[in-house]
Amino acid sequence: MKKNLLALAALTLVSGAAFAQSSVTLYGVADVGIGKEAGQKTGMISGTYINHLTSYIGFRGIEDLGGGLKAGFRLEQYVNMEDGATASANGFLRQGNETYGRAANLWLEGGFGRFKMGRSETPSYNAVTTWSIVGDANYSPSLQRYGAAGSAARASSQFSYRTPVFGGFSAEVAFVSKGDNNNKAKYDLNVIYENGPIAAGLAYNKTQNAKANYALGGKYNFGMFALSAGYHDVRNLVGYTPPAGTKLKLAGYTVGGSVNFDNLTLAVELQRQRKNEVYSQNATHKFKKYTDGVVELKYALSKRTFMYADYLRFDGGNNYGLGIQHRF
């Protein structure tokens, strides 16, 4: 009898270890509030650029393959908190929505680093949000003005490799082939340093037959407060297709600061354009150079839930919102 009990206990332990090697997690963000975008009426806001984030639901899985090797996947879908509609990366209720427009990728990780395939964040985005004082907030004036060093936050059909962390340094390189990008290959890379109070990053991306983009910046956390600064130089802006023979020059600086009072955080980020030019037909056409900025106030109700208020000055327009966000 004792032998049978011991055998059953051993089998239970082995089975438990086997199941522990593979797991799937449901997670996401719910973010909704009330606000006013420039030129529009006050109303409920969800997925706008005055929300802190766009709500989404995600699934991630991981399997321990042994020997330090792991495999995993991630699927994330945007959600409109106003009516429950799903959304794509290009906006809510667009015909032909991508079911998992925020992320859809498979990865393999080990002592060599991580190799990933599918739709995922671009290396440039990961670098820029490392030093931004408001992180990846929708109302970041630098992301709204320059994108992720001219690139999109996420890319489809992307192959990427991220190195292990060496003394706080890591690097990531990504590639989108011609067949997946209108016959134009795209390269994207970053170098990031995160160690103690210091966070810094360099972003670089280039699309075939187009000028390269880059951005660099850093942040220092003094404890109660933090300061950041960055520079962006964009020659090929996502969403803008210039006519043949036309060249874009968009560049500027960003500075930011934040201060913490227990559960309350106040952050300010400003960007000032240094160049806003288009070269066409042997002439340089200069456009208005904007100074944009955001003021963000966050109050933590718990580790997963916070209330926020933001005021965004962008393109000379006033935008503001009041919302609540919960992570699960």
pLDDT in tens, 252-290: 999 999 999 999 999 999 999 999 999 887 888 899 999
Query: Is residue 20 pLDDT above 80, yes or no?
Result: no
Q: Which of 89, 234, 210 is nearest to 148 (CA)?
A: 234
Integer Cα distance of 59 and 155 in angstroms: 19
At 10 the pLDDT is 46
Q: What is the pLDDT of residue 97?
A: 58
Residue 114 contacts residue 107 (beta carbons within 8 Å): yes
Give the C-alpha distances (Å, rounded to integers) separating 11 from 5, 37, 47, 118: 10, 61, 49, 38
pLDDT at 246: 84
Instruction: Give per-residue pLDDT as tens, 291-327.
Output: 999 999 999 999 999 999 999 999 999 999 999 999 9
C-alpha 309 chain-centroid distance: 20
pLDDT attached to residue 88: 58
Is the pLDDT assigned to residue 75 strictly greater than 90? yes
Residues facing residue 236 across a β-bridge: none
Name residue, tokens 């996420």: 154
Distance CA 93, CA 96 (A): 9
Q: Pairing mode, if any, of strands 225-234 and 169-176?
A: unpaired
Q: Is the pLDDT of residue 218 over 80?
A: yes
pLDDT of 5 higher than 90: no
Q: How confident is the model over 157-176, as a mean pLDDT?
A: 98
| E strand or H helix that includes residue 240 | none
